[in-house]
Every structure is written in C-alpha cells, then in structure tokens.
Amino acid sequence: MADLLWLEPVGGAAGDMFLAAALHLGVPRDELTRHLGALGVPGWRLEVRDAEANGIHGLHLDVELEGPQPHGRGFTEIAALFRQAPLPPRARQAALAMLERVARAESRVHGVPLEQVHFHEVGAVDSIVDLCGAALVLELLGWPRAVASPPELGQGFQKTHHGVLPVPPPAVLEIMQGALVRPGGPQGEAVTPTGAAILRELFEIGTPPPFVPRRTGYGVGTSRWSDRPNVLRLTSGDRSPAGGELWLLEANLDDCPGQLVARAIEAALLAGALDAWAAPVTMKKGRPGLILGALAPAARREAVAHVFLRETTTLGVRFRAVERLEAERELLPVETPYGPVRVKVGRLGGEVLNAHPEWDDCAVRAREHGVPVKRVLDAAAAAYWKR
C-alpha cells in the first residue's frame, strides 16, 4: 500500500471533486458506498461518470437526491449523526473535525452561534456525504502521509443566497487561516468550504518529500476555466519502499488520569502519528507511572509533540530519530460466509510474512450475523490462505 498521498488543486478543491479523484485513483467504489450507506441518511445516490477537462480524462461525481429531504439540518443534528454512525473510529473523528471547521467558519462569518448554523436540504446531504466520504477515502487507503500543494482560492465575485460575495468566499478564508495559500487563480470560486476543510484536516499543506509515483486520479469539476483545467489531481506513491527515518516521541506520566492518556493516544493518531501507545513503568520514589509513546514521520513530529503537551499533564516531550525496516503492506478483500472482509497482507522481498483480517470489518460482519468476532476472523484468514 502506498505511504504517500499528494493532492494538487490544479483547478480548485471541492468535496465531490475529491471523491471523484479518489475513485479514479482506485479507491473501491463498493466499499465507499457501503460505508456511506450505513450512515442512515436516506434519499440520495452517487452519480459517477467519465469526464474530461482540457483533454485530461477523469471522473465527475454528483450527489443526486431522491425524494424529499428534511429542511435545514443543523450542525448539532449532523454532528450527532456522525457520532452515532458505524464508521471506523479515526474516520469518524476526522469527519467530525471537518464538519466543525465548516460550521465554525459559517458561525464567525454570519455572526450566529455554532448551534444555529444550518445546512439547507441539498447542502446538508452534500456535506454529510462529502465529509464522511473524504475521511473514508483516507481510511481505505490506510491513512498514508497526505500532503497538499498550497491552493489558489479563486478571485472575483459570486452570487449566493446572501447576495453577491467576494471570492474567495469568507468561510473559505476562515477555514484556511493559518495555512499556506496562493492568491489569485481562476475567475470564480475555486475552493469550496468543504474542499477547504478537507485540505486543512486531512492534509499537510506544503511540498511533498521525494517519492515514487504509483497511481494518479483526476476529479473533474463542473466549472470551466479559461486558463487551466478544472481538475483535482490525487497521486499515490512510495517514499521509501525499504524503510525510512522516523521520530520516536516519549513522555513520562505519573499524575495523569487514564482517560486523558487514552485521549492522547487517539489525538496523536489523528495528528499523524503512525502508532501510539502507553506502557507501565516505575518512576522515581517508587511511584507507578506510564510512558506515553508515539512513532511519527518528521513532518508530523511537532504536531504529535503538541498533542502530548496539550492533552496530558506532561511538561516536556523527548524525541529521537529512529529507522525501521518496513514490510510492504496491502489490503486485499476476501469473501467469507459472513460477507466481504479486507485482509492486511505484509510482504518482504515478495514473500508473504503476515496476513491478518481487519478487525473493524470482522466486527461489522459479526454484528450483522450475530456470531462471535473470532469466527469471522478465522473465516477471513482461511479464505485468504485458501486463495
């Protein structure tokens, strides 16, 4: 599985363009729609078709409504829906964080409390599908390091239900505060609020490290620009097939409640750590304590260190460079009597070293069929080795 994802907002960035680019890259459509269908939001479907812009072939995606929709879903209602949705934990947290970015921006721009921010019926469904879908894309790709080139936000003016507004839209500028952007761009809205939230929450904005490109996908937008193709390009690749330098971060804790340690581990992973953990240790004066640890790429070292300082009682974080030998990883779907399950396969030099079914998939299948999870795990492992 590729360990780097590079996003280029050539003509702009929007939620539907990102999902289209991901599908064109090779993200399984059936897996994506299965997870989205489990959200419990009725009356919509994904319409995906071939498209081109300036001779570049890609995919165009629309969220088509079917039947009446509730009018004006609010932030509070959508956030509750996300929290209750049967999504993988990291994808759920990322979707919630993106939703909150959009809602807080709208709250500041329009001067209303966060709880009073509403999405009209079309926009609500679009936002739900785009934000959850974007988080699921990273989940299905195994949460590689994700880097986005600084976007041009567009220029000029646009008509909205609030009247004529400048481009970039005020909400987009709010969401992009603190990130690197480039002034100018096409005449019109190039980056939508949803697109901005995806850039800020799922991607580092900057220049990717040297890597070997493997696959590229193009999401084609609706508008047509005179000076560039309106496409969003997504490239996956490998930074270092055999291994690479990483940073080991640690903090000693002897006065931190367990709930905060659990939250710190979760937050470190969301901040880009490749792994995070806590281990018991005996500290000075014989006091029991914990070592909170994480493994992070160089570009996420500071973000993960800040999580340790912000989420726990520690006053310092130590880190050192480490190297590791990595097995090549790939997620392969297998069919079991309980439904499809992905199996994570590890290889080194072409030799299969490990093949382990994905826990979240097995847990879902077990709940659906009312059987123990271990039975689904055994069936998935047997299906892989029989294949």
Residue 122's pLDDT is 47
Residue 123's pLDDT is 62
CA distance 312 to 218: 41
3-state secondary structure 161-219: CCEEEEECCHHHHHHCCCCCCECCCCEEECECHHHHHHHHHHCEECCCCCCEEEEEEEE
CATH number belonging to the domain at 243-325, selected among 3.30.70.1450, 3.30.70.1380, 3.40.50.1370, 2.130.10.30? 3.30.70.1380
- CA nearest to 144, candidates 353, 329, 18: 329
In angstroms, the Cα distances linking 108 to 112, 175, 180 are 7, 10, 21
Average pLDDT of adjacent 10-residue blocks, the chain of 387 residues: 91 96 96 92 92 96 85 86 92 95 92 83 79 96 93 87 83 93 90 96 88 94 93 89 72 94 94 94 91 92 94 94 81 92 88 92 94 96 91
- CA nearest to 5, candidates 89, 18, 261, 14: 18
How buried is residue 162: exposed, middle or buried, by Cβ count under 10 Å (0-12/13-18/19+)?
exposed
CA distance 161 to 169: 13
- CA nearest to 195, candidates 214, 175, 165, 170: 175
Cis peptide preceding 168, ω within 30 of 0? yes
Residue 121's pLDDT is 47
CATH, range 328-386? 3.10.20.300
Q: Which residues contact 208 (CB under 8 A, 6 or more apart)?
A: 4, 6, 147
Residue 348's pLDDT is 83
Q: Where in the chain is the domain with CATH 3.30.70.1380?
A: 243-325
Neighbouring CB atoms inside 10 A of 51's CB total 20
Task: Locate 323 and state its tokens.
Answer: 């190297």
Task: Locate 308 and state its tokens.
Answer: 């340790």
129 and 73 in contact (C-beta within 8 Å)?
no
Q: N- to C-terminal Cα distance for the chain? A: 20
Q: Which residues contact 56 (CB under 8 A, 6 or more apart)?
A: 218, 220, 229, 231
Task: Locate 301 and state its tokens.
Answer: 């070292």
Q: Where in the chain is the domain with CATH 3.10.20.300?
A: 328-386
Residue 263's pLDDT is 95
Residue 357's pLDDT is 95
Residue 120's pLDDT is 61
Residue 196's pLDDT is 96
Residue 236's pLDDT is 96
